[in-house]
Amino acid sequence: MTALLEVRDLVKTYGEGEAETRVLKGLDLALEEGEFAALLGPSGSGKSTLLTILGTLMKPTSGQHHMLGEDLTAASDRDLTEFRNRHIGFVFQFHHLLPDFTALENVMFPTAVRQGRETGAARERARELLVRVGLEDRMEFLATELSGGQKQRVAIARALMNQPELVLADEPTGNLDRESASQVMELLGEINQNEQTTFLISTHDEKIAASCRRQINVSDGKVS
Ligand SMILES: Nc1ncnc2c1ncn2[C@@H]1O[C@H](COP(=O)(O)OP(=O)(O)OP(=O)(O)O)[C@@H](O)[C@H]1O
């Protein structure tokens, strides 16, 4: 296997002076292509902070960050945005769907906005993805007309729109009942198997973590 991403000696502090909180304290982590990994750790241990940095949405205070052979450590904000749009998908606990738009529009819009136009190809890809996540009969439903599990499926389809190599999921099942949670995990597992997409999934749920092939524990600012 080839390393998809690697961070070394990652440090992240929030605040300054007396208020300074050191959250990541020299964390090292490598993810191989095609991994399906759970990110575990007590509340406040820095899981979201790590995902935000791996997603290039925030820079670390210090440390190295490489992905797909690119050194992201010193990249400009503009380059990071482009890199993120091409290579990384996000799924959050609260799906952040646009309530007044349909499932199809929610999947298609981020790409359309980025491209500055709505292409037929984007619509086709969004349709395919919604079929893929089992929502072929809900494409034209408004986000508000969907169940929690269905909304999360839409969010997963949206995350896959640009065929990212890496999907970062922050508590993707945190808001779901047990059955919807295991369906969502099954779906992520299928996508991982079929498309070799790498997944890093933060969770507090031991069962969810056990269903992943690798468990990564964060404690005291490092991977233990
Ligand atoms: N923007 C911020 N400013 C200051 N402190 C922050 C900020 N974001 C997070 N923190 C602090 O960093 C620590 C780690 O937070 P983070 O959200 O990464 O933890 P987590 O492991 O994801 O927690 P949880 O499991 O509860 O979601 C916490 O102590 C938190 O208070």
How many whole angstroms from 122 Cα to the centroid of ligand 1? 35
Give Cβ neighbours of residue 198 (< 8 Å, ≥ 6 apart): 4, 31, 32, 33, 34, 35, 36, 165, 166, 167, 192
For residue 50, the ligand 1 atom closest to its alpha carbon is: 18
| Residues β-bridged to residue 29 | 7
Collect the ranges in the chain with pLDDT lower than 50: none
**pLDDT value for 95:** 72
Residue nearest to atom 28 of ligand 1 (CA): 44
Tell me how crowded residue 214 is: count the other CB atoms within 10 A of its CB: 13
**pLDDT value for 110:** 78
How many whole angstroms from 21 Cα to the centroid of ligand 1? 9
How many whole angstroms from 9 Cα to the centroid of ligand 1? 19
For residue 132, give both structure tokens. Answer: 């893929």
How many whole angstroms from 129 Cα to the centroid of ligand 1? 33
What whole-number distance in Å separates Cα of residue 191 and Cα of residue 209?
17
Looking at this predicted complex, what is its ipTM?
0.95
What pTM was computed for the model? Answer: 0.93
Write down all domains in the chain, each with its CATH number in brackets.
3-223 (3.40.50.300)
Helix (H) or strand (E) holding 207: helix 206-210
- pLDDT tens, residue by residue, 112-171: 777 777 778 889 999 999 999 999 999 999 999 999 999 999 999 999 998 999 999 999
Phi-psi region of 93 (alpha: psi -120 to 50; beta: other; left: phi over 0): alpha
